[in-house]
Structure 1
Amino acid sequence: MNDEIRALFPATTYYTYLNSAAISPIPTTALDAVTRQLADVAVNGSLHYQDWVDTKDRCRDLAAEMLSVRSDQIAFVRNTSDGVASIANGLKWKAGDNIVSFEGEFPANFYPWRRIRDAYGVELRLCREIDGRVDIDEMLSMIDHNTKVVAISAVQYASGFRADLERIGRAARDVDALFVVDIIQGFGAIPFDLPAQFVDAACGASHKWLCAPEGCGMIYLSDRARERLEPTLVGWISVETPWDFADREQPFRSTALAWESGTGCAALFYGLEQSLSLLHTTGADNIERHLAGLTDQLCSSLTGKDYEIISSRTPGEASQIVCIKHTGGLTSNQIASHLETEKIIVSPRGDRLRIAPHFYNNSSDIDRLVEALP
């Protein structure tokens, strides 16, 4: 990536910031857009309300294009958790159904399914993670004709394992199950073509690899998923003509927009639009290549040092997240705290140190990290 992108992120001036899997800094373009919108409301109140709506719709269009889906298949919610829960709660469950997932999923993609298990007597089948990877063959063996949902993350938050979405999605489709994917740890860092990957529903949010303010979650619903799901949290903008306040019997929207219950913070979408535009212009393939170069550099630089690479580096399984473990007894918290004193920002995740560069990072950032590791 070039210096022009890096210059948009003030955090790179103060830190070696390698923590995009937690929260990414936002670019100055997003900050300026949010500030301008709030300043406009301070002066003009609701006079420019239509522009708020139009900005949100432009975000919808950008997200849809980046995921290779239609705009009316994207709904904005508060966060990934809301998205997963709305899908889990919107299906009709019965005893005997089962859900197939990964053992190490982030809680946002576990608790909604656990609640379904407990409420309906549904079986929740979890495929193990061993040495930083998931055996996809083992996972596929868990899918059968009673499987109602296969729910996984595109990239695992604590290992960086990247799932073969097309292969898993095809297996789910073969038994008529819905394939639900948490894309928050990939969207903005790797390319997606959700229809080609047989993804029926996807959930993500703005504050990680999309480099935007927190508070903009999103759902993708394929037509197939929309036919099976009922929106469970509806409000005044969930209906076909929201501004017709008198017609209380009008239908709910037939698209994913039925999942948008009410207004959100308009300013956030002004920031999101700028961040999505930057990522889209840069190109997912270009970002993926850049991050592959940085993570390859990192892993090569650790050779001979007291660190074990936990993340799979097998082509197709490697992602932009690299997790490592100290072989000499230092804990991940100790290492992360030491690095923070050097203004190098990473995350401890259990016994692992998670390193997550983005497109604003460069090879000098990786060199500085490796030199500072205790």
Structure 2
Amino acid sequence: MTDSTRSSWSPALVEASRSFAPRTGYLAACTMGLPMTATLEAQRLDLDTWRTGGTSPIEYGAVVEEARVAYAALVAVPVERVAIGSQTSSMVAVVAAAVPDGAEVICVDGDFSSMVFPFLQQRHRGVRVRSVPLAELADAVSDDTWLVAWSAIQSATGAVADDAAIVAAARRHHVLTLCDTTQAAGVLPVDASRYGVTVCHAYKWLCSPRGAAFLTVSVEAAARLRPVQAGWYAGESVWGSCYGPIMELAPDARAFDVSPAWPVWVGALPALRAFAGLDMTEVWTRASGLGDLLCDRLDIARQGQAIVTWVDPGGDLEALTAAGLTASGRAGRVRIAFHLWNDEDDVEAVAGALRG
């Protein structure tokens, strides 16, 4: 990435872009993010410290709490509304377990399975799962709906949901909202206070090691959920919750915490701090702008997305791989994802591989 490319960027975005390996040909942030230099350094130091017995659970706990603070700032909610987890499906399962017998849940047709499967497993209680196209989601919400669940950005297509319309419809009908921001946080501005519940795995656009995930829950939503995953880390006093039979849960979103995989959070903290200090509108403008530039070069309609996708009848993904580029394919489509380490040269590399 040249200095001229960065000339119009803010200093914070320039610094963040320089913290990744140069010229990777990596166009798959929607599959897995790349690590920042600070993440790699933190993890290497942690391994060396662990090797000599210099680490401790209490020190790891402090790292987790700092990560919680950074994520809260990133998604614009009080830190008391943030719980930590390890994967989205287990956090969604907490919501699924709270759906009343016989109630209706509306999902998006073709959404990622972690946002659908947990609800399907409640059908033995009469829970009804209805899937509709993303564009029809807001209109599908009714007084018979208990929950509407969707991803802010669709994994397979990169399509950005009309969150304002969906949230407005849910409020009119007093329906709980659940939004998966895994494909949005780190590239698109996210205000988690708009939703009852959000889930996010930080290993994609937030460039963290896999195993660091977050749940945000409003005060109203928390009253409708039960912390069915509660373990020692969910206690009001973490170190006082190690042994039964009596346990007092945390009075805030920490009641939904799961025990953290400590080394993962050591690597996640520097990345979360970095992203919390960025202007996400600038990041999105840059990433989606590269996406539109690629659409222009490929003579397809602009998508206004950081993830550009098209139906691959066969050969495009192979051509990209043969050219040394890392892209991904989902649901019969090629996915090209642009993030902080990408620039116009990557656009030209994709166009050249497909037209060459």
- Structure 2 equivalent of residue 171 of structure 1: 169
Give the superposition deviation at 1:249.
Answer: 2.3
Give the superposition deviation at 1:170.
Answer: 1.8
- Structure 2 equivalent of residue 131 of structure 1: none
- Structure 2 equivalent of residue 150 of structure 1: 148
Query: Aligned partner of 2:167: which letter?
Result: G
- Structure 1 equivalent of residue 62 of structure 2: 54
Does 36-45 or 174-183 show the bigger shift? 36-45
Matches of 1:5 and 1:271, distance apart in 2: 16
- SS of match in other structure, 1:212: coil
- Structure 2 equivalent of residue 218 of structure 1: 214
- SS of match in other structure, 1:112: helix
Matches within 5 A, 1:169-318: 169-195=167-193, 198-244=194-240, 248-262=245-259, 264-303=260-299, 313=303, 318=304
CA contact (8 A) 1:155 1:185 kept: yes
**Any idea what the Cα deviations from partners look like across 1:70-90, whole Å, max 9, x if unmatched?**
11211111111111112212x
Matches of 1:79 and 1:241, distance apart in 2: 24
Matches of 1:27 and 1:220, distance apart in 2: 25
- Structure 2 equivalent of residue 69 of structure 1: 77
- Structure 1 equivalent of residue 19 of structure 2: 8
User: Identity rate of aligned residues, in percent?
Assistant: 24
- Structure 2 equivalent of residue 110 of structure 1: 116
- Structure 1 equivalent of residue 10 of structure 2: none
Give the superposition deviation at 1:31.
Answer: 0.8
Query: Aligned partner of 1:40: which letter?
Result: T
- SS of match in other structure, 2:214: strand
RMSD: 1.8
The total of aligned residue pairs comes to 343
Give the superposition deviation at 1:51.
Answer: 2.5
- Structure 1 equivalent of residue 128 of structure 2: 123
Matches of 1:322 and 1:199, distance apart in 2: 26
Query: Aligned partner of 1:188: which letter?
Result: G
**Any idea what the Cα deviations from partners look like across 1:33-57, whole Å, max 9, x if unmatched?**
11111211222344x4432111111
- SS of match in other structure, 2:236: coil
Query: Aligned partner of 1:205: which letter?
Result: H
Give the superposition deviation at 1:358.
Answer: 0.4
Matches of 1:77 and 1:247, distance apart in 2: 22
Kindly tell me: are residues 254 and 92 of structure 1, through their superposed partners in 2, closer, same or farther at Cα, counting changes over 3 Å? farther
CA contact (8 A) 2:30 2:205 kept: yes
Matches of 1:140 and 1:342, distance apart in 2: 42
Matches of 1:347 and 1:64, distance apart in 2: 30
Matches of 1:194 and 1:6, distance apart in 2: 25
CA contact (8 A) 2:115 2:150 kept: yes
Where do 5+ consecutive residues of structure 1 fail to align? 129-133
Matches of 2:323 and 2:139, distance apart in 1: 46
Does residue 348 (structure 1) correspond to residue 329 (structure 2)? The answer is yes
Where do 5+ consecutive residues of structure 2 fail to align? 7-13
Query: Aligned partner of 1:145: which letter?
Result: D
Give the superposition deviation at 1:319.
Answer: 2.6
Give the superposition deviation at 1:247.
Answer: 6.8
**Any idea what the Cα deviations from partners look like across 1:145-199, whole Å, max 9, x if unmatched?**
121100000000111111121221121122221100011010100001122xx31
TM-score by length of 2: 0.91
Does residue 21 (structure 1) correspond to residue 26 (structure 2)? The answer is no
Matches of 2:341 and 2:83, distance apart in 1: 28
Kindly tell me: are residues 235 and 22 of structure 1, through their superposed partners in 2, closer, same or farther at Cα, counting changes over 3 Å? same
CA contact (8 A) 2:84 2:258 kept: no
Matches of 1:174 and 1:261, distance apart in 2: 33
Give the superposition deviation at 1:246.
Answer: 6.4
Query: Aligned partner of 1:9: which letter?
Result: F
- SS of match in other structure, 2:178: strand
TM-score by length of 1: 0.87
